[in-house]
A and B are shown apart, each in its own frame.
Chain A
């Protein structure tokens, strides 16, 4: 049996949970789904639509706000009871925060950021990115089960998750969650001062990455944006360096956009960037590295030096 740990915040299911469910169903064998929190009945019945042996709810006041200690303690107890062969989770920031501690506490293997499953002869082979997505590794999990597997966001399709002909049964697990053992004291999530720009409505976006090399070179990207009637945006390192404000960052920590045209200049295409822009209708990548992962999702690519290609593009647009 594969146990999927779904994720919710304030009673709202994280959609990536469906991706983990799809991956677990694809792996084969019966699937159970666990959800932790306080007053999460609505989430549980939403999950019960999945083709699953059952949905297990751990409902405790101490789990109302997510904490690593709360999750590790609860899931360690649940796993001891359920004895799954594998535990699948979505590779969210929350999973990153607790799954390694859980695997370490139980002394079981954890394979993170998995993009595909292969089971040629028995032992399942996991595909995961290395070198920031420039290469893929094929790995196996060693040692006794259960093995923990986190699924890269977007790698498995949420809409491929099979739904049952009737809702799965929902059961409350009787697990004591000792609040006094939780060492982290979280406060309410918040957003920084209201964002000045909302890029989600932009029709065209020119995004710059580390290939731009210096702040003074942003001008050439801005000229291109102007010629295209586009907004300017960036990958994380550009905002980290303070060359553009944080609210122009595209990706998992920044904005998610779906413009008609997304033109990526000197961006390698790490997954945390791709999740923010892969919904764009037409993607253009200009990069001097022909192996850059951004070319895997681009519609049009130019392999070349952006400092030569961009001026040529501006000239062409002005013709």
Chain B
């Protein structure tokens, strides 16, 4: 099975978010970056499918130059080769622009299966995978928690709300958006890291950017809605104040 996995580089969860001067995005020159979490699960799923059914795993990222580090990491975990659609504007582009860039890079390679994470931890559009499926003319299924390759197609388990699931079959080629927790992740071994140095990262320049579907005017920290009573002091003082509040004001403990 020839599998493409689309991955994104996002700021790490630990990085204290700071806004740029024009207040339209974060100061990403100061940030630290990592692989978007659901994408890591998508990559792991692809590697497992390859181990079972043989084939090839190609990772693809549409992003600025720095995104090559997540491609390198994916190669170290076991992907065979990488495609980097490189443009600075892709760092904060909308879902259509990203899907366009990915579609152009993937279209001619005739993949059997394309995997993406279900959404990114930064923009959180939840659109790129599904838009890409439409652009590639593939059927898709989203929020996937299990993948089984069957005669001529796939049987996949979709997550629904509130603890419900649903199996569905679809023909190949197809695109799936993968949910975190579908499998247990592997990490790169030293051997993998060495091997990755010899693997190819092909650079592609996106064709003229499509006109944007969404324009970012500003980002800001959300206004505080509810009045949270912050309990100050040392851990012991805060703990004492909290227990008193819970007993006497909220009356939720004895």
Contact = CB atoms under 8 A, between A and B. Distances in A.
Interface of A: 68-69, 92-93, 96-101, 103-105, 108-113, 125, 128-143, 183-192, 195, 203-204, 210, 228-229, 236-237, 239-242, 246-247, 252-256, 260-261, 281-282, 284-285, 291, 293, 295-305, 308-309, 311-313, 315-317
Contacts of B219: 130, 135-138
A183 B166 contact: no
Nearest to A129: B124
Given A261-B246, A261-B250, 20 more contacts: A97-B143, A98-B130, A109-B96, A109-B214, A112-B124, A139-B215, A142-B213, A184-B139, A191-B163, A252-B162, A253-B161, A253-B162, A261-B252, A282-B250, A295-B228, A297-B225, A300-B228, A300-B245, A302-B242, A316-B239
A192 B243 contact: no
Given A93-B161, A131-B17, A141-B214, A300 B231 contact: yes
A126 to B, nearest CB: 9
B222 to A, nearest CB: 5
B77 interface: no
A107 to B, nearest CB: 8
B159 interface: yes
Contact of A302 (B130, B184, B222, B231): B231
Interface stretch (B65-73, B168-176, B186-194): B168-176
A253 B231 contact: no
B125 A112 contact: yes
Contacts of B168: 184-187
A57 to B, nearest CB: 23
A181 B184 CA distance: 36
A142 B252 contact: no
Contacts of B164: 189-191
A264 B17 CA distance: 22
Interface hub of B122, B168, B220, B252 (most chain A Cβ within 10 A)? B252
Pick the most buried of B95, B142, B236, B242: most chain A CB atoms within 10 A of its CB: B242
Given A293-B222, A301-B229, A256 B131 contact: no
Contacts of A316: 236, 239-240, 242-243
A191 B220 contact: no
A256 B164 CA distance: 13
Nearest to B130: A100
Interface of B: 11, 13, 17, 19, 26, 95-96, 99, 118, 121-131, 133-135, 139-143, 158-171, 180-181, 184, 211-222, 224-226, 228-231, 235-236, 238-240, 242-243, 245-246, 250, 252-253
A242 to B, nearest CB: 7
Contacts of A190: 164-166
25 contacts: A68-B141, A97-B143, A100-B127, A100-B129, A100-B134, A103-B213, A109-B96, A113-B126, A135-B19, A135-B221, A136-B220, A139-B217, A184-B139, A188-B166, A189-B164, A191-B165, A253-B163, A255-B163, A261-B246, A300-B246, A311-B235, A312-B235, A312-B240, A315-B236, A316-B243
A13 B165 CA distance: 18
Given A136-B222, A253-B162, A302-B230, A239 B124 contact: no
Top 6 A-B residue pairs of the complex, sorted by shortest distance between their CB atoms: A240-B181, A100-B130, A183-B139, A312-B239, A109-B213, A104-B134
B160 A130 contact: no
Contacts of A101: 130-131, 133-134, 140
Q: Main secondary structure on chain A at its contact with chain B?
A: mixed
A285 B243 CA distance: 13
Contact of A137 (B96, B184, B218): B218
A103 B181 contact: no
Contacts of A239: 181
A102 to B, nearest CB: 8
B159 A140 contact: no
A315 B234 CA distance: 14
A132 to B, nearest CB: 6
A112 B96 CA distance: 13
A223 B193 CA distance: 41
Contact of B243 (A110, A204, A282, A313): A313
Nearest to B244: A316
A188 B166 CA distance: 6
A55 B212 CA distance: 33
A130 B122 contact: yes
A266 B124 CA distance: 21
A120 to B, nearest CB: 10
A139 B212 CA distance: 12
Nearest to A268: B13
A100 B250 contact: no
A187 B235 CA distance: 52
Nearest to A188: B166
Contacts of B220: 135-136, 138
Contact of A229 (B118, B167, B180, B253): B253
B222 A304 contact: no
